Amino acid sequence: MFLNQFLLLAAVLFCIGVYGVLVRKNGVLVLMSIELILNAVNINLVAFSAFNQNIDGQVFALFIIAVAAAEVGVGLAIVLLIYRNRRSIDVAEANLLKG
Amino acid sequence: MFAAEEVSWLFRNVWLIPALPALSFVLILFFGKRLPFKGAEIGIASVVVAFSLAVLTTFAWIGNIQSAESHSEEAIFLEGPDGEQTPIVLTAEEAGEARGAPIITEVEWFSIGPDANKVILGTEGNSDAGHDEDGHSDDEDEDGHSDDEDAGHDDDEEEGAGFGGDDNVVDVAFAEDGGTVAEAHGDRFSISIGTLVDGQSVMMLFVVTFISLLVHVYSTDYVKGDRRFTHYFAFLSLFTSAMLFMVLSTSTMQLIVGWELVGVCSFALIGHWWEEKANSDAALKAFLTNRVGDIGLLIGMSILYFAAGRTFSIPRINELAVNGTIPKGTLTIAAVCLMAAVMSKSGQFILHTWLPDAMAGPTPVSALIHAATMVVAGVYMIGRLYPVFFIGFGIAGSSINLMAFIGGLTTVGGGALAFVQKDIKKVLAYSTVSQLGYMVLALGMGAYTAGMFHLFTHAFFKACLFLGAGSVSHACHHSFDMKADMGGLRKYMPKTFWTFMIGSGALAGIPPLAGFWSKDEILVGAGVWPNTGGNGTYYLPFVFGMITAAMTAAYMARTIWLTFFGEYRGHDEPHESGARITTPLIILAGMAVVVGFLNMPSGFVKFFGAPEGLAHRFEDWVEPAGVSTFVTSDNGFTHAKPSLSLAIVATLLALTAGGAVVAYYRALYAKDSKATEYTDGVMSRIPGLRAGHKFLEEKYYLDHLYTGAIAGGTKGPLARATDWFNQNVLDGIVNGVGKLSVGLGNFIYNIIDQKAIDGVVNGSGNSASGAGQFLRGMQTGQVRQYATLMFGATAVVAAIFIFAV
Amino acid sequence: MMALLAQQTEAVIETAWIPNAFFFVIAAVMVLAALKMVSTKNVVHAALYLLIVLSGVAAVYIFLGAEFAAATQILVYLGAIMVLLLFGVMLTRAKLGAETDLDHDQRWIGALVGASLLAVMSYSLWDAFGGDKLPADPTPQDAPTGVKNTQLVADEIFSTYLVSFEVLSVLLLAALIGAVVVARRD
């Protein structure tokens, strides 16, 4: 097996995730796309771990999984809060940063 | 008085004392709300058992000491005389060991590192077990990982084979000598948890369980009907457990854990009524201020960990500090860092500000946590690591050091602030700050026993005062305002009044109450008064101590007169509190009378013809024997000789100060029995009162003074210079400019403002506004757009890196 | 499973085309599912497509000999995070059927950015790791024989990365409290 087949798969997933983050309006869907991005990164880490015969990459992947769990928890809490305040989770409407 | 096995059982199983309240905490959390007394009964039962065990342990310890003493009496007398400067010397190692070395029981908590399959489960006994291969035999019973897969491997593979649960008993902390501990540990990082029984911890066990028990009983009435009654008792249990856990710690790591746990409980209990913003603010302030000190604690403990060759063991650190393995400079740095922790936890200037605010919590909590036990954790920690501080600060033969200075400053500053409070709990809070300063002062002057003894006596009379204040407020419809809602309560609540009087007398150091003995011992410890000996000549701390002795009497007299004398100023009829409130008060007042006699000077005992054996009992029981090596080193610590003349002078000083305040209020009440000192009519008529008022105003000014000048002094000349500059130059400039502008205002307005300045201001304003409008267009507030820009830019930059560079 | 397979076929790596074929099938499924996920009109369907991608990632981990990571992936992602996301869908009362208004109008910008990122990444990956092959046995060479991946990971986490691990636990606690505080109704 080539190293690149994993890395390219990860790259494709990453870009699809980026596309999702950029075009989706629903907050939950944006979070899902972020999960996709994180998973792509994880594939890279594990692939390099196997390539270098070094276990550190897997450990980092595990850490990322844990952090992702935290991120989803807080992210969904924020989405819920937005929904409660605005009756909508359209991220396009959350534009309080507008100058 | 106990059989040897019973004693040994007690000492080895002293962990039960913190474990019981911890169990009670869990039980209250899970079942508390369903029980008939909402969980209070579990809390009280656990504390009763813990208290009984603590009492048994105390007696067992005393018996242990006394039997040891009778064996080694001649040794003490042989080694005793060490010149006229050191009248009573804690003598040779043998005598020290015989007087009851600390009894340590510990188990491995966890250990980390490549060598981790050698788990330590050490007690002090098997000190000859080697560490390396010989100590680490392949037992038959190790079954964690040694099944099929690594059947045929040699030794070095087992290192990587992970975390089997084998339990080789290897003692490292106490077995190795000198500097070999580091090598012995290798990269392993092992932390043990256990119990250390010695005079100091036994004393604290007794104090904490005793006061906790009384506070539990008192609280059943005081917080009756509270909506978070169960929650309250759960946290009382948790606090009791955490405090006892900290007290018994054998390692600095355990100490830190206990230290933080009591901090969390303090936070939760201060914020007990968090619906009011002020209360939750106070809780946060307490927590955050303590974080500042905790940084010092962590750094200091880390320094000691590495300096002592990677060990957390407190006795080991002390031993290495004494025998000079840890250089004095390292000890000094560690001691300074640890002082920061003491300053926050024990309310020393300049980190004391959280303590008065902490009075937002329920009063029994203030009595237990913020007067008697938790706040003395810092003092206790100094005592635990006393060799580190003693050698680090060079206490012997000195005349000032950081600890004595901070303690002195705190004791005077806190006492002065107690004058200007009208909230009775705030008075007591500042008084606590002041008394904690006294303890730190004592320890800073090398008067170890005096400091610990004051901690001991203070716990009783200050808890008595706080609970008394709670009783008063209970009667006055939950107000703590002495001026608005109190006065004349003497007639309505005699029990509270008399117990409060005894507590105040003890606090003010009126003989023969408890505070007199401990305070006198501290003043003697300064070594300034003629023929007292001591560790050095601490002139400045001595002066601080004398001033505080006078001030304490004065502000307590003020508090008593405002609260209990004159005429009732509140609304409705006040009433005496119920039995569950007054009984703890009476018990504590009784303790405040008697505990002082535990450490009478031998001269006093002789004078009254009492048996010689009654003299300085506390000293014999509590003083550390485990650091006896420390005592015999070059600059060992000595005891000061008690002085009758100093006792008389200090007492007279206190009586005079208290009497002056009493006279002032008697004159005031003679004019108007409902007055307080802020009544303007009285003020203008009596010249003496005007002076008093001015005096109070000066005290109010002190608040400014100590944040400006004293904090500046601690932070260094730069801060002081800045402060001076701020106070004088900037204020002068501001005032001058103000006057000038008033005088020349119209002129400037007409000539300069309208023409030149307006033009410039409008011009710059317009240009800024234009630029802002332009930039504003880019800020759409759409996160999506920002993300698009970010990813796009990433792609572009990456492309540049790949193709162009 | 595949790691074991890889171990047994140590010498004949060139002919081990079966796992490779499996890989490409799975990769294709993952990419398709991911594309459907970002383009579907139905929020619940998007979650189900994400489920497919995440399972695929777990399979990829197994290809790479990381059984423990695969198990964790299934437990945490498929078990916990997916449920969380579905709760999110439910609590925000998303429509069960198709929705019309899920995407922004200017989809082409997103596609452009994604495509250009992909182009840059693919080029550089190809350039850097063109023909590099994975070793037959992905376990570290200095590890004792017979020691499993899970054990190695455990050793690493609890020795070298112990502090990070503890910090991570604190982070999770903080996130937990933070999520409660943010989402609490008051």
CATH number of the domain that residue A59 is part of: 1.10.287.3510
Residue B750 gets which letter from DSSP? Answer: I
Sign of CA dihedral B777, B783, B785, B786: positive
Which residues 99-158 in chain C show a CB within 8 A of chain A? Answer: 99, 101-104, 107, 109-111, 113-115, 117-118, 121-122, 125-126, 129-135, 137-141, 143, 149, 152-153, 156-157
User: CB-based contact (8 Å) between C162 and chain B?
Assistant: yes
pLDDT digits (tens, 9 = 90+) for C17-70: 777 888 899 999 999 999 999 988 888 889 999 999 999 999 999 988 888 999
The confidence band for B210, taking pLDDT boundaries of 50, 70 and 90, is very high
B271-280 pLDDT, tens digit each: 888 888 888 8
How is B391-423 classified by DSSP, letter by letter?
HHTT-TT-S--HHHHHHHHHHHHHHHHHHT--B
Mean local confidence (pLDDT), B633-640: 60
In the stretch 8-67 of chain C, residues with CB closer than 8 A to chain A read 16, 19-20, 23-24, 27, 30-31, 34-35, 37-38, 43, 46-47, 50, 53-54, 57, 60-61, 63-66
Q: What is the pLDDT of residues B657-671, one digit of tens each?
A: 888 888 888 877 777
pLDDT higher than threshold 70 for residue C133: yes
Closest C-chain CA to B146: C147
Give C113's contacts in chain A (Cβ within 8 Å).
18-19, 22
Say what the alpha-carbon torsion angle C53, C54, C60, C61 is, to the nearest 10 degrees: 170
Instruction: Tell me which residue in A43, A62, A90 faces C60 most closely, judged by beta carbons.
Output: A43
Instruction: Show residues of chain C in contact with B798, CB under 8 Å.
Output: 117, 120-121, 124
- Under 8 Å CB pairs connecting chains B and C tally to 53
pLDDT at C60: 92
Residue B42 · residue B35 · CB < 8 Å? yes
Q: Which chains touch A (3 or more CB pairs under 8 A)?
A: B, C
* CB crowding B358-368: b at 16 or more within 10 Å, else e: bbbbbbbbbbb
Highest mean pLDDT among B262-266, B411-415, C89-93: B262-266
- Cα three-residue angle B646-B648-B653, rounded to 5 degrees: 95
- Tell me how close the Cα of B116 comes to any Cα of chain A, in angstroms: 19
Contacts of B776 in chain A (CB under 8 A): 99
| φ, ψ at B533 (rounded to 5°) | 75, -125
Q: Which residue has the higher pLDDT, B114 or A61?
A: A61
- Find the mean pLDDT for residues B291-312: 86
CB < 8 Å from B in window 100-129 of C: 104, 109-110, 112-114, 116-117, 119-121, 123-124, 127
* Tokens describing residue A25: 């309006």
Checking if the pLDDT of A71 tops 80, the result is yes
Q: Both tokens of residue B530? A: 């003629």
User: What's the sign of the alpha-carbon dihedral B687, B690, B695, B701?
Assistant: negative
Q: Which of B73-82, B471-480, B488-497, B793-802 has the highest mean pLDDT?
A: B793-802
Domain of A25 in residue numbering reads as 3-97
Provide the pLDDT for residue B140: 38
Could you tell me how many residues make up chain A? 99
Whole-number Å distance between alpha carbons of B390 and B446: 7
**Which residues of C fall within a CB distance of 8 Å from A36?**
34, 37, 50, 53
Contact C110 B113 (CB under 8 A): no
Would you say B311 and B253 are in contact if contact means Cβ atoms under 8 Å apart? no
Burial (CB < 10 A; 0-12, 13-18, 19+), residue B49, is middle
**Could you tell me which residues come within 8 angstroms of residue B258 by beta carbon, excluding any fewer than 6 positions away?**
B242, B243, B245, B246, B247, B249
Confidence of residue B128 (pLDDT cuts 50, 70, 90): very low
Q: Determine the pLDDT at residue B625.
A: 57
Beta-carbon count within 10 A of B62 CB: 17
Per-residue pLDDT at A79: 87
Question: Chain B residues with CB inside 8 Å of A91's CB?
Answer: 783-784
Among chain B residues, CA nearest to C123: B802
Q: How many angstroms separate the CA atoms of B505 and B469, rounded? A: 15
Cβ–Cβ < 8 Å for B371, B463: yes
**Residue B355: per-residue pLDDT:** 84
Final residue in a domain of this structure, among C95, C119, C137: C95
The residues in B 752-791 lying below 8 A from A, measured between CB atoms, are 775-784, 787-788, 791
Q: Where are the alpha helices (DSSP H) in B248-276?
A: 252-270
Q: Report the CATH number at residue C17.
A: 1.20.120.1200
In a domain, C88, yes or no: yes
Looking at the fold, whether C78 and C2 belong to one and the same domain comes out as yes
Residue of C nearest to B156 (CA): C144
Note whether C139 and C66 are within 8 A (CB). Answer: no
Q: Summarize the confidence of residues B169-195 as an average pLDDT.
A: 50
Beta bridge partners of residue C133, listed in sequence order: A2
Q: Give the per-residue pLDDT at C29.
A: 93
Q: Among A59, A72, A89, select the one facing C84 at the smallest CB separation.
A: A72
CA distance A10 to B43: 57
b/e code B401-413 from CB counts within 10 Å (16+ = b)? bbbbbbbbbbbbb
Residues of chain A with C-beta less than 8 angstroms from the C-beta of C30: 9, 13
Is pLDDT above 70 for B150? no
Taking an 8 Å cut-off on Cβ atoms, the answer to whether A62 and C115 are in contact is no
Residue B784, chain C, CB below 8 Å: the answer is yes
What residues in C contact B163, CB-CB < 8 Å? 154-155, 158
Segment B439-455 mean pLDDT: 86
Q: How confident is the model at residue B31 (pLDDT cuts 50, 70, 90)?
A: confident
Asked which of B408-417, B502-511, B601-610 is least confident by mean pLDDT, the reply is: B601-610
- Token pair belonging to B319: 């031993």
Give the chain A residue nearest C27 (alpha carbons). A9
CA-to-CA distance for B379 and B382, rounded, in angstroms?
5
What pLDDT, on a 0 to 100 scale, did the predictor assign at position B691?
Answer: 57
Give the model confidence (pLDDT) of B358-375 as tens digits: 888 888 888 888 888 888
Q: Does the bond joining C144 to the residue before it have cis omega, within 30 degrees of 0?
A: no
Supply the pLDDT for residue A35.
92
CA proximity to B247, closest of B267, B233, B261: B261
* C-alpha atoms less than 13 angstroms from C-alpha of C181 in its C-beta half-sphere: 6
Collapsing DSSP to helix, strand or coil, B198 comes out as coil
B465 closest CA partner among B442, B489, B496, B438 = B496
- Cα separation, B86 vs B534, whole angstroms: 7
Q: Which sign, positive or negative, has the C-alpha torsion B296, B299, B305, B307?
A: negative
Residue with tokens 């991946």: C149
Nearest to B781 among A18, A22, A95 (CB): A95
The whole domain housing C183 covers 147-186
* Least confident stretch, B13-27, B240-254, B620-634, C147-161: B620-634
- pLDDT of the residue at B180: 34
Domain assignment of residue C176, yes or no: yes
Instruction: Give the whole-angstrom CA distance, residue B365 versus residue B369.
Output: 6
Which of the four pLDDT bands, split at 50, 70 and 90, describes residue B185? very low
Distance CA B189, CA B119 (A): 11
Q: Bridge-partner residues for B615, per DSSP?
A: B600
Q: Do C114 and A1 touch (CB under 8 A)?
A: no
pLDDT mean across residues, chain A: 89
Partner C, chain B 715-744, Cβ-Cβ below 8 Å:
none
Name subunits touching B (3+ CB pairs < 8 A). Answer: A, C
Distance CA B497, CA B316 (A): 49
Task: State mean pLDDT over B39-68.
Answer: 84
Residue of C nearest to B189 (CA): C159
Distance, CA of C3 to CA of C11 (rounded, Å): 14
Average pLDDT over chain B reads 74
Query: Would you place residue B687 in the very low, low, confident or very high pLDDT band (cuts 50, 70, 90)?
Result: low
Determine what percent of chain C is predicted with pLDDT higher than 90.
31
Contacts of B795 in chain C (CB under 8 A): 113, 116-117, 119-120
Quick one: angle between helices B494-508 and B448-475, nearest 10?
Answer: 160
> B148 pLDDT band (50/70/90 cuts)?
very low
Query: B26 CA to chain A: closest CA distance, Å?
Result: 27
Please list every residue in chain A whose beta carbon sits closer than 8 Å to the beta carbon of residue C89.
Answer: 28
Q: How many domains does chain A have?
A: 1
Return the residue of A nearest to C72 by Cα.
A62
Beta bridge partners of B111: B190
Residue C32, chain B, CB below 8 Å: the answer is: no
H and E: helices and strands count for chain C: 8, 0
pTM passes above 0.90: no
Range A68-94 average pLDDT:
85
Cβ-based contacts of C83 with chain A (< 8 Å): none
Supply the pLDDT for residue B699: 40
CB contact under 8 A, A12 and C31: yes
